[in-house]
Amino acid sequence: METILAEARLRPLSRLLAAATEEAATAMYRWTGGQFTLSLEEACELPWERVCDYFDLGDEPRIMVVMHLESPWAGDLILVFDELNGRQLAASLLGQEVPADEPWTDLARSALTETGNIVGCAYLNAITRLLGTELVPTPPAFVEDFGASVLGQAVVTHAMHNERVFVCQTWFHREGATLDARLLFLPSQALRQRIMDAMSSR
Amino acid sequence: MSTVVVEKTIKQSVGMGQICFKEDCGELVAILGSCIGVAMYCPRLKLAALGHVVLPESDGRDGPPGRYADLAIPYMVAQFKNRGATLAGIKVRIAGGAAMFGRPGPLQIGINNAQAVKNTLAKAGLVLTSEHLGGTKGRRMSINAATGEVFVEIVGQGTTQLQ
């Protein structure tokens, strides 16, 4: 696709994000007793108008855990689950049956938020260590909303200053099967450049 | 990328920065956060438009008109006039402008977007029929080209019809 940044330029970023994904996958594996893991799907850069279509989160409500990175190394980390996979993950963590179609309990919200915390922090810790730069995330927030509304909000902050947005997508797996559950990472232009500089000097 | 799409398919998504038109039948749908959905409808022509405005001001930047409030609304009005509509015959409803995640701080793009859209509508001589703005949640906004009905859905809060 012509709008995606050439692979060669992305290679340093991809190397770092693969390391971050590996650390997050290990954390997820431990947290879920070996049931769930993660794999890096793609890292690409595209015009900001195209991000929501490209990563197609549909127009149905999604369950998300959102963390924002504060300036100067800003960015957004969004865990996105469809309703079923979100409920299955929460239920397995709590040792319960998957509940029928009913509102999310505080306990289930907390289980998913803690998942975001563990996976997100492992991911960001790996980046922090490789960059030698501290990243400061906000506490994870549980969000039940349209996926495109949340992803769009993350994109808007980039759209104010840049024409293109870098997005890294990581999928969740359970017992070998890929789930409708993913981790999206959108670093700001400044953070992306910091990563590129750090990795190219290695 | 084209920002103006006229189609007669049943349901069409309006992405960020896009302006889409439909005549006679079908539905236009936008998923909004801090963006503003601008729905215009001419009952006489059965012409519907939905703009998915992302930022308040173009500030001299290039790009499709649907991105910015100050360019999107004049563009939409011109398209309606080209098809024979009058300003008085256009019904305008807007939705969106949320402060997603309730983040505090001086940069509240949703509020800025809403204000910019209202200012530009007034400048264009259009009367705003109804609005559904603010809050901290996303919205699904739709307009039906056959009837002009506009619906706004918020997750967990149901669906509202904008008059």
Half-sphere exposure of B158 (CA within 13 A, CB side): 2
Half-sphere exposure of A140 (CA within 13 A, CB side): 22
- Residue A70's pLDDT is 86
- Residue A146's pLDDT is 96
CATH superfamily of A8-83+115-200: CheC-like (3.40.1550.10)
Do residues B99 and B134 lie in contact, with contact meaning Cβ atoms separated by under 8 Å? yes
Domain boundaries, chain A: 8-83+115-200
- Residue B62's pLDDT is 80
pLDDT, one tens digit per residue, over A145-187 is 999 999 999 999 888 888 899 999 999 998 889 999 999 999 9
Task: Give the A:B interface size as CB pairs under 8 Å.
Answer: 83
- Residue A148's pLDDT is 95
- Residue A3's pLDDT is 43
- Residue A202's pLDDT is 66
Residues B140 and B17: their CA atoms lie apart, in Å, by 16
Q: For A153, which of B34, B64, B67 is closest by C-beta distance?
A: B34
Q: Report which residue type is found at A67.
A: M
- Residue A139's pLDDT is 93
State both tokens at B20. 């889409």
Is B35 annotated as catalytic? yes
- Are A68 and B101 an interchain contact pair (Cβ–Cβ within 8 Å)? yes
Regions of chain B where pLDDT drops below 70: 1-9, 102-107
Residues A198 and A12: their CA atoms lie apart, in Å, by 9
Give ∠ CA B152-B156-B158 in degrees, rounded to 5. Answer: 40
Regions of chain A where pLDDT drops below 70: 1-10, 202
pLDDT, one tens digit per residue, over B77-109 is 999 999 999 999 999 999 999 988 766 555 678
- Are A152 and B31 an interchain contact pair (Cβ–Cβ within 8 Å)? yes
Share of chain B above pLDDT 90, in %: 81
